[in-house]
Structure 1
């Protein structure tokens, strides 16, 4: 697993974590925002009228209503990105990361408007009578770039696992175990069976389920979030100030948080923003392609609302819960994930300015750091290390009160541990201690700091269960549409079987490995789509003009 994680981290360093990627994503959204004269603002009111059925026509071709298409697409985006993803962004980049999530959402509203409109315009009716669409269809039919369409479709299949399946199952299992004590394999097994029952029904059943689940889960989560925000209302103002003041400078060290540079906060905020709302990724257009309408632009209007609901509203609430509660920069007892642990040379201390600066440079990938991995042995007696010459960094923080266990927390370890290149070589060692925490675990803890007290963790658990499960449902549809494009309808059933088993596997896998895989999969899918919509910019502009000409005539 360590080797696999290192491989995905290497890929991510050239893709999502590379300097150029946030600029490519935001740049595309900014270009279309200017090119189409700020449609996310000008068409916002009209979008609400469309989604409520104001312009519906009886007998229009398609499989789902505007509202069902919106909720299906939202179910694909409102998931662990809103709960675990926001927490991960703040954990990595501090409050500044939330600002860049907002920026991604604002420009993403236009990007999604473009990709959904084009995908709906070039959709096809399949042999079974349903509609199939997505970026691969406009790449193929309009651009005559079959090779790019194939690349996108393959990336969609991969991303259906990396975005919609693995991290969703993993986050559910972790949260359910922490809250209710359920074994991850039991949670994974039950949900895998339910997932199979839903996705076998295709888009009709998927749309019926998501149109009921999405509104309910949003209300529950919002109520829980406000219970924390109002309880810590005196911290909300300073939280907003830090989001804006840190946006162009990076976030300073606070508590156990060692700080983040502007570049790091910017990159992580944009990256997590994309994972949250998927604007530019090309996934939501697949759901919207099934909408009942003869006007592709009207469906594009509906999609403008997705990043607004997903990121501007829900992610902001999550971010304010985490920041106002103060848990984001505090160290908490937890079991350390292997992927989060790193032993370095020397007995370093967070209280030493030189040591903290050195580790800050290392974590933010800056020149000048002298941090080197520790290689050697550690003597442990009754769970406590008795040798020195090393420092354990866990979850980007100095680990404290560390104890070593073998097999379970009930059995303290005594003996010698071999450390190679900063990592423990023995597999059955459990490391426990205090450090920063991240992902869904951080959000869960933050929700206990409100009026509901410890009961708040159940809101997160239920919300995450519904959010993440509905995301997995939606992404199974995206994947099977891509498989249909690549290999025909016969390939869909084998894909669904693998999809369900992967959902079970992810429930018992390493958290950090899953998040790193998802980061790679997202970018692999996004790049071909950005190329496609930029090439069709004039087609898009002409489509919008033609749509408004028809609306004016209808009036």
Structure 2
């Protein structure tokens, strides 16, 4: 296991080198410009997320697709991921996470747009879409679609499954002394009960769970920020200063410069909001919508809520707590976040535990759908039930694997998903621009109501 861990760590370090950071962040900036700073339409996207698209074709509502996507993104990345980023990259990593969210909104919009535009209807009458179909139908590069599907099906076991159950098991053991395998068994049982019903059951659970868990966690963050209000100014200064410092030195952090801050900030930012990874567009393709722009606008709000709001609040909580309590241990991201919430007497640990439990569980549910659709693209509908069974078992396995190894595997698989997805959004950027201009400035009730044509079953159609 130790030798395997070193190999994975080496691969992870290479994949997340400067070249990928430049590619990912550069794509965010490029698409921001190409879409005419689509972030300005954020308010419209929020309005659309609670507006029914009458007559739209799809499996779930736009709001249901959004909450399912949020369920998979608002997870341990918002809690443990932020703490890990600060522990490994210094306070400056928080700013890089935030910038990844701000500019990543354009990428989330773009990848969701092409996911809906090129989606298909299966023989079972359900929608199937994502980067794999954009690559196959939009670029005529099926081999890249296959690669993306393979990476998605495998990445789900890491970012969406093992990492989540591991983080929950570790926190429960740390705070309540409950054996990790017991937490794993409980999570495995609940996961199986939900995902066996497919996307409609997953969506119903997420529509109810996501708003509640987000509000409770946000209240906890606000309480801590009020307690540490005297340190907020210093926290902001440290976050901004160490994001670009040649060598950051603060508290227990020594020797982490701008590259470490950028690497771990962008990597954890991606882990949190998944902009550029092509995961959330898979569920966006299942939404009931008449045209791709409407759902793309709705989908991009997920990055705003997840990273621009929730991750920033967590980052301020962690850094301000570290300034207020210099003795806090920086060696473990989970311990760092746990110590920060421990500032709230009695309720702090309960809020963090509830937040992590619900965030992680919702992420497990959302990613089960992503991985399942990747597998279905490769092998057809016959793989769905076996995949759900294996995915459920991995919940238990992930709870017992060493945390560092789990994160490295997840990071590596995330990077591999990015590559074909970035190819899709960059080479189809002209299509994205044309679709955006087609609806730009039109009132949401006056958009084209012509249903999007679908291929009934792509696998039986001429390629």
Do both proteins adopt the same fold according to a TM-score greater than 0.5, normalized to the shorter chain?
A: yes
Encode CA deviations 1:320-370: one digit per residue, 9 max, x unaligned. 1111111798556xxxxxxxxxxxxxxxxxxxxxxxxxxxxxxxxxxxxxx
Q: Indicate how the Cα distance of structure 1 residues 7 and 175 shifts in structure 2: closer, same or farther if over 3 A, else same.
A: same
Counterpart in 2 of 1:178?
174
Q: Check the 8 A contact 2:242/2:257 in 1, yes or no.
A: no
Q: Does 1:317 align with 2:209?
A: no
Counterpart in 2 of 1:548?
440
Encode CA deviations 1:366-397: one digit per residue, 9 max, x unaligned. xxxxxxxxxxxxxxxxxxxxxxxxxxxxxxxx
Q: Check the 8 A contact 1:102/1:312 in 2, yes or no.
A: yes
- Bigger shift: 25-34 or 439-448? 439-448
Q: Does 1:443 align with 2:337?
A: yes
More strand by share: 1
Counterpart in 1 of 2:281?
285
1:291 deviation in Å? Answer: 0.7
Structure with the bigger RCO (C-alpha within 8 Å, sep 6+) is 2
Counterpart in 1 of 2:76?
80
Q: Check the 8 A contact 1:79/1:471 in 2, yes or no.
A: yes
Counterpart in 2 of 1:364?
none
- Bigger shift: 246-255 or 226-235? 246-255
Q: Secondary structure of 2:253's match?
A: coil
Equivalent residue runs for 1:2-41 within 5 Å: 2-16=2-16, 18-41=17-40
1:549 deviation in Å? Answer: 7.0
Task: Work out which of the residue numbers 384, 388, 393 in structure 2 matches 1:492.
Answer: 384
Counterpart in 2 of 1:124?
120
Structure 2 distance, partners of 1:495, 1:474, is: 14
Q: Indicate how the Cα distance of structure 1 residues 141 and 247 shifts in structure 2: closer, same or farther if over 3 A, else same.
A: same
Q: Check the 8 A contact 1:152/1:528 in 2, yes or no.
A: yes
Q: Check the 8 A contact 2:159/2:271 in 1, yes or no.
A: yes
Taking only aligned residues, the RMSD between alpha carbons, in angstroms, comes to 1.6
**Higher radius of gyration, 1 or 2:** 1
1:496 deviation in Å? Answer: 1.1
Counterpart in 2 of 1:516?
408
Q: Check the 8 A contact 1:188/1:507 in 2, yes or no.
A: yes
Q: Does 1:230 align with 2:122?
A: no
Structure 1 distance, partners of 2:88, 2:13, is: 15
Q: Check the 8 A contact 1:327/1:446 in 2, yes or no.
A: no
Equivalent residue runs for 1:177-326 within 5 Å: 177-250=173-246, 252-326=248-322
Structure 2 distance, partners of 1:441, 1:287, is: 33
Counterpart in 1 of 2:110?
114
Q: Check the 8 A contact 2:244/2:257 in 1, yes or no.
A: no
Encode CA deviations 1:112-162: one digit per residue, 9 max, x unaligned. 000001001111111221111111011111111010000000000111011
Counterpart in 1 of 2:137?
141
Structure 2 distance, partners of 1:252, 1:436, is: 14
Q: Check the 8 A contact 1:322/1:328 in 2, yes or no.
A: no
Q: Check the 8 A contact 1:101/1:270 in 2, yes or no.
A: yes
Q: Check the 8 A contact 1:131/1:290 in 2, yes or no.
A: yes
Counterpart in 2 of 1:472?
364
Q: Check the 8 A contact 1:90/1:328 in 2, yes or no.
A: no
Q: Indicate how the Cα distance of structure 1 residues 552 and 223 shifts in structure 2: closer, same or farther if over 3 A, else same.
A: closer
Structure 1 distance, partners of 2:359, 2:444, is: 39
Encode CA deviations 1:501-527: one digit per residue, 9 max, x unaligned. 111011111011101111101001011
1:48 deviation in Å? Answer: 1.6
Encode CA deviations 1:24-44: one digit per residue, 9 max, x unaligned. 001011011111110012x11
Q: Check the 8 A contact 2:372/2:388 in 1, yes or no.
A: yes
1:473 deviation in Å? Answer: 0.4
Q: How many residues align?
A: 447
Encode CA deviations 1:181-214: one digit per residue, 9 max, x unaligned. 2111011001101101100100100000001000
More helix by share: 2
Structure 2 distance, partners of 1:264, 1:508, is: 28
Q: Secondary structure of 1:453's match?
A: coil
Q: Indicate how the Cα distance of structure 1 residues 157 and 330 shifts in structure 2: closer, same or farther if over 3 A, else same.
A: farther
Q: Indicate how the Cα distance of structure 1 residues 86 and 78 shifts in structure 2: closer, same or farther if over 3 A, else same.
A: same
Structure 2 distance, partners of 1:206, 1:440, is: 27
Structure 1 distance, partners of 2:316, 2:222, is: 9
Encode CA deviations 1:71-112: one digit per residue, 9 max, x unaligned. 000001000100010001111111111111111111100000
Q: Secondary structure of 1:259's match?
A: strand
Structure 1 distance, partners of 2:97, 2:158, is: 20
Structure 2 distance, partners of 1:552, 1:514, is: 43
Q: Does 1:63 align with 2:59?
A: yes
Q: Indicate how the Cα distance of structure 1 residues 86 and 496 shifts in structure 2: closer, same or farther if over 3 A, else same.
A: same
Q: Does 1:49 align with 2:52?
A: no
> Which sections of structure 2, spanning at least 5 residues, go unmatched?
448-463
Structure 2 distance, partners of 1:553, 1:186, is: 51
